[in-house]
Amino acid sequence: MSLQDEFDAVRNEGLAAIAEAADLDALEHVRIAYMGRNGRLKDLGQAFKEAASEEKRTLGKALNETNNTIKDAFNARKEELSTQVDTESIDITEPRVPVRRGSIHPISQVAQEVEAVFTSMGFDIVDGPHIESEEFNFTRLNIPADHPARDAQDTFWLSNGSLLRTHTSSVQSRTYPSLADTIGEAPIRKVVVGKVFRYEEVDSTHDNTFSQVEGFMVDKNITVAHLVGTLKTMISAVLKRDDVEVRLRPSFFPFVEPGFEVDVRAPGAEGRFKNWVELLGCGMIHPEVLRKGGIDPDIYQGFAFGLGLERLTMIRHNINDIRLFNGADLRGLQQFGA
Ligand code: FA5
């Protein structure tokens, strides 16, 4: 290949490499390869020096042209890429894509508050499984297989004979045996917050999946007065009012004796809560339940209650349809962002 051909080849390859450089970094690599200290133009200069003196006149001109062509192309491409960066730079006045913030579900918010109040009263937070045995959900709570109370809490059965727990009272029956050995350290105060499930028609106040708060206390000389005091403290704290009134109506739950239904109202409140609203079931733990759990009912007594967390949250926020909590329309829930 003659030296002139080499000049042409280097010029063409250099121009192609410059044109292909997609950004300033790539262009810098091309510059080093062609115009750098050990670049290809330098090699051409070296070859020119070694050329015969009669050829140098024409070759010198050609070498200059090659050098200048590559330098000009390089400068032009550099200019082009620099302005491209400018036009692609960030426009800080452009409105940003709105960030969609999540929020804690209103039931979880109230659950956290309920747990905080009970913790402040010395209760431990305990938990139990959603998939439960008949034994813990019914039998140990004094509800044997043929007892009509089972009909009031129809549930979802699994093919292996387990069921979805119908109430958090199942955690009572799970917890007593483990307490039996340490009952000498009474008082025992436990609270459970969790999901429960019932095979039930859904309407504005009933869901098939809802949450309960179960509290129970065992000690010597426990009375209904302790139960009422505990409930009033919790309800007043969660509803953030000091005019909460509590009304007990006799009721039947096989695992308490006596048993009560509790209604609450706040005379100064707006909305439904001004009048009595049914909130929970409770009572003194049935001696038979304590005995089944290994605790001597002649020495120890206790109270227990189970409250619907959705009902409490509905009163707190004046919500009139329970379906808001588990429904697919997020507009309702988004009002409670926290
Ligand atoms: C019980 O579940 C008892 N385990 C409560 C209890 C515990 C009594 C300890 C005595 C001692 P009941 O089925 O009434 O009871 O339910 C308790 C509360 O759960 C009700 O007062 C109500 O607030 C709520 N609740 C019941 N069914 C539903 C439902 N389908 N949807 C939403 N909340 C419900």
Residue reference for tokens 């429904």? 327
Residue 253: Cβ within 10 Å count: 23
Mean pLDDT over 195-211 rounds to: 95
Burial of 91 (0-12, 13-18, 19+ CB in 10 A): exposed
Pocket-testing residue among 138, 169, 228, ligand 1, by greatest number of atoms within 8 A of Cβ: 169
What band does 82 get if pLDDT is binned at 50, 70 and 90?
confident
In this predicted model, what pLDDT tens digit does every residue of 219-250 receive, in sequence order?
Answer: 999 999 999 999 999 999 999 999 999 999 99
Residue 54: Cβ within 10 Å count: 8
Find, among 131, 29, 135, the residue nearest to 77 by Cα.
Answer: 29
Whether residue 150 contacts residue 167, with contact meaning beta carbons closer than 8 Å, is answered with no
With a 6 Å cutoff on the Cβ, whether 256 touches ligand 1 is yes
Q: How far apart are CA 317 and CA 312, in angstroms?
A: 9
Nearest CA, atom 14, ligand 1: 281
Q: Give distance in angstroms: CA of 43 to centre of ligand 1.
A: 91
Q: What percent of the chain has pLDDT over 70?
A: 99
Whether residue 213 contacts residue 192, with contact meaning beta carbons closer than 8 Å, is answered with yes
Nearest CA, atom 15, ligand 1: 281
SS3 125: strand
Q: How far apart are CA 253 and CA 150, in angstroms?
A: 11
Torsion sign across C-alpha atoms 138, 111, 199, 303: positive
What band does 338 get if pLDDT is binned at 50, 70 and 90?
low
Q: What is the CATH number of domain 106-334?
A: 3.30.930.10
Tokens of 69: 């062509």
In this predicted model, what pLDDT tens digit does every residue of 18-56 receive, in sequence order?
Answer: 999 998 999 999 999 999 999 999 988 888 888 888 888
SS3 247: strand
List, in sequence order, every residue forming a beta bridge with 164; answer none if it has no partner: 131
pLDDT tops 70 at residue 87: no
Higher pLDDT, 44 or 194: 194
Per-residue model confidence (pLDDT) at position 81: 87
With a 6 Å cutoff on the Cβ, whether 263 touches ligand 1 is no
Find, among 204, 192, 62, 179, the residue nearest to 130 by Cα.
Answer: 192
Per-residue model confidence (pLDDT) at position 207: 95
Per-residue model confidence (pLDDT) at position 272: 74
Per-residue model confidence (pLDDT) at position 312: 93
In this predicted model, what pLDDT tens digit does every residue of 253-309 receive, in sequence order?
Answer: 999 999 999 999 988 888 778 889 889 999 999 999 999 989 999 999 999 999 999
Higher pLDDT, 90 or 145: 145
Secondary-structure percent of the chain, ordered helix, strand, coil, rounded to 5 = 45, 20, 35
pLDDT tops 70 at residue 321: yes
Whether residue 135 contacts residue 174, with contact meaning beta carbons closer than 8 Å, is answered with no
Q: How far apart are CA 4 and CA 59, in angstroms?
A: 7
First vs last C-alpha separation in the chain: 78
Closest ligand 1 atom, residue 167 Cα: 2
Q: Radius of gyration of the chain from Cα atoms?
A: 40
**Count, residues in the chain:** 338
pTM of the model: 0.73
Q: How far apart are CA 296 and CA 118, in angstroms?
A: 26
Q: How far apart are CA 28 and CA 89, in angstroms?
A: 20
Per-residue model confidence (pLDDT) at position 248: 95
Find, among 45, 36, 4, the residue nearest to 17 by Cα.
Answer: 36
Nearest CA, atom 24, ligand 1: 308
pLDDT tops 90 at residue 184: no
Q: How far apart are CA 179 and CA 293, in angstroms?
A: 8
Per-residue model confidence (pLDDT) at position 191: 98
Q: Give distance in angstroms: CA of 275 to centre of ligand 1.
A: 20
Closest ligand 1 atom, residue 152 Cα: 13
With a 6 Å cutoff on the Cβ, whether 141 touches ligand 1 is no
Residue reference for tokens 């909130």? 279
What band does 318 get if pLDDT is binned at 50, 70 and 90?
confident
With a 6 Å cutoff on the Cβ, whether 304 touches ligand 1 is yes
